[in-house]
Amino acid sequence: MSFSLPLRHSAISAARVQTSTTFICSQCRHATLLRRPKRPYTFTQLITLSDGSTFTHRTTSPAPVYRSTRDTRNSLLWNPSSSKLMNVEEDEAGRLAAFRAKFGRGWDAKTPTEEESSKTPEQMDQKAEAAARAAAEEEEDDNLLDLISSFGQEEEQPSGKKN
Amino acid sequence: MAASESSRYLARSLPRAFVPTVRPQGLCLRRNVSGQTAPADLNELESATSLASMASSDAVKSFDPIARSSQRKKQLPRSRYQFRSPKYDRGPLHPHQPPPPSDPSSRLYIPGPFSLPRVEQTYQSTVASDILTLCYVHNPPGFKPPPKAARLRSWDDSSPYHKNRPLRGPRGGDVLRLLRKPINFNNVPKLERITIHSYIKQAAQENSSWLHVAGMAVQAITNAKVETFKSKTSVATWSIVPGRDTVAVKAELRGEDMLHFFGKLVDVVLPRIKDWEGVKGSSGDSSGNITFGLEPENVALFPEIEVNYDMYPPKMIPGCHITVHTSAKTDKDARLLLSAMGIPFYGKIVN
């Protein structure tokens, strides 16, 4: 009997709350219009890339052929190793190369120049330097190869000791 | 005996192909009603085969279906009953239900695909196998992965109030990340959809023409109808009130449209952007969706806008955000996919 009183209180308060907020919940289902999807008219367009390769795609543009002057085939971001697209410095007298040989660092010395292909007797010492550099790079490669080939060997060695 | 006599007549009157030669006549003891046909009836059969063409030459000359159809004023009625979908969806309890959108008779049906996009061909021929190779992890036979802890932690029963509680969230934040499964031949990441979204603040500040131009521009570059959206947040400096101002335009691309858009974006538009370094390496929502933005002058580089650039007021061409949704579960895989498909990334790569 002691707890019946608070219960009744709560019931009364709940009823009051319900009466104060008139929440109308009648089901309301209108018909929804099924709209036909609108699709813009598309044409088939032939895209010609700068190196002459072509492909077709569907587009809203009515032009039948699109010729691009700048695309993935001739932009440096997509062809980072292409020497054609990099701005190669013109170094006729070899002065820039000489400066670089004297003061340049590793990353700077690797800058390709136009005169690398042409052979002159003056640049024999530079050639020798380049050869030495190439040898150093090869050594690095060898080190990397060693690193790869030695992968997983360390696990075998202790097992050999056990045997 | 009479039966065998009649069958002999039958054999004589019919062409040779119909005569059963396998079974000898004398051994046939069964009697059939069909075998007792009078030979007089068989004489009434036409001797010529009906399979040969018997059309007269004038009928052949007068047959001209193209001229007949051009003479016709009205269209012919449909030869068959055609189902017409109801115009309205009246709820699941209505007896007249519209067919599913995949049904060609549905009003929501979108036909296609009509072409095999170049991006799809590239993906199938090279990209998918490359990703599969790159993501291969070799496990020697008999290898068992170490057991992982449960993602949702259980409560230590230090308190009696822990009973019947739902499990605790992961340590260090309440976000349960997507579970990355090892990449197999059947879950190689691929493009799922591309969302192009542009927020035009001038649509609220000035007039709706900005929104119309932006909608037309986005529709032109995507081949898809755009949706407009009202702002959800209030921006006091732009005098934007939530729920009042329509400020955004979105196009969602799937399937063929998406692949065509992606192909032209990568091959034609992105290389022409001045001083563009690529997509920032930290972009992505850490569940395999990568977003990047285009400035208004970059949107103007799309061939569809370039071809009639005069149609758009030059100031009103919108910039946009492009979200590429991939089926990859982590940003690392998504970035691998996108860089294989030709989108460069720069800066610190955050996974």
Contact A33 B87 (CB under 8 A): yes
**Residue in chain A nearest B92 by alpha carbon:** A29
User: Does residue B342 form part of some domain?
Assistant: yes
For testing the chain B interface, which of A35, A44, A53, A61 should be mutated: the one with the most B CBs within 10 Å? A61
- Asked if B85 reaches chain A (Cβ–Cβ under 8 Å), the answer is yes
pLDDT tens digit sequence for B29-75: 677 666 665 566 677 777 777 777 667 788 888 888 899 889 989 88
pLDDT tens digit sequence for B219-237: 999 999 999 999 999 989 9
**Residue in chain B nearest A61 by alpha carbon:** B304
Comparing A45-54, A98-107, A150-159, B128-137, the range with the smallest average pLDDT is A150-159
Q: A27: pLDDT confidence band, cut at 50, 70 and 90?
A: low
Whole-number mean pLDDT of chain A? 71
User: Does residue B305 form part of some domain?
Assistant: yes
Q: Is the pLDDT of residue A122 over 70?
A: no
User: Does residue B179 form part of some domain?
Assistant: no
Contact B267 A68 (CB under 8 A): yes
Q: Verify that A102 and A61 share a domain, yes or no.
A: no
Q: B260: pLDDT confidence band, cut at 50, 70 and 90?
A: very high
Contact A37 B85 (CB under 8 A): no
ipTM of the complex: 0.71
User: Does residue A5 form part of some domain?
Assistant: no
Q: Decide which of A37 and B16 is more confident.
A: A37
One-letter identity of residue B246: T
Domain count, chain B: 2
Q: Is the pLDDT of residue A75 over 50?
A: yes
Which chain A residues have a beta carbon less than 8 Å from that of B267? 47, 49, 68, 71-72
Question: Which of B 253-282 lie inside 8 A of A, CB atoms?
Answer: 256-257, 260, 263-264, 266-268, 271-272, 276-278
Q: A11: pLDDT confidence band, cut at 50, 70 and 90?
A: very low
Cα Rg for chain A, rounded, in angstroms? 39
**Residue in chain A nearest B260 by alpha carbon:** A57
Average pLDDT over residues A24-33: 77
User: Does residue B75 form part of some domain?
Assistant: no
User: Does residue A87 form part of some domain?
Assistant: no
Comparing B15-29, B51-65, B104-118, the range with the smallest average pLDDT is B15-29
- Asked if B292 reaches chain A (Cβ–Cβ under 8 Å), the answer is no
Q: Which residues contact B200 (CB under 8 A, 6 or more apart)?
A: B210, B211, B214, B247, B248, B249, B318
User: Does residue A49 form part of some domain?
Assistant: yes
Tally A–B CB contacts below 8 A: 103
Which pLDDT belongs to residue A14? Answer: 44
Q: Is the pLDDT of residue A113 over 80?
A: no
CATH code of the domain containing B202: 3.30.1440.10
Average pLDDT over residues B230-246: 91
Q: Is the pLDDT of residue B169 over 60?
A: yes
Q: Which domain holds residue B269?
A: 191-346
Give how far B275 is from chain A: nearest CA, Å: 10
Average pLDDT over residues B132-143: 94
Which pLDDT belongs to residue B312? Answer: 95
Q: How far apart (Å, rounded) are the C-alpha atoms in residues B345 and B348? A: 9
Q: Which domain holds residue A127?
A: 95-149
User: Does residue B98 form part of some domain?
Assistant: no
User: Does residue A56 form part of some domain?
Assistant: yes
Domain count, chain A: 2
Which pLDDT belongs to residue A55? Answer: 95
User: Does residue A23 form part of some domain?
Assistant: no
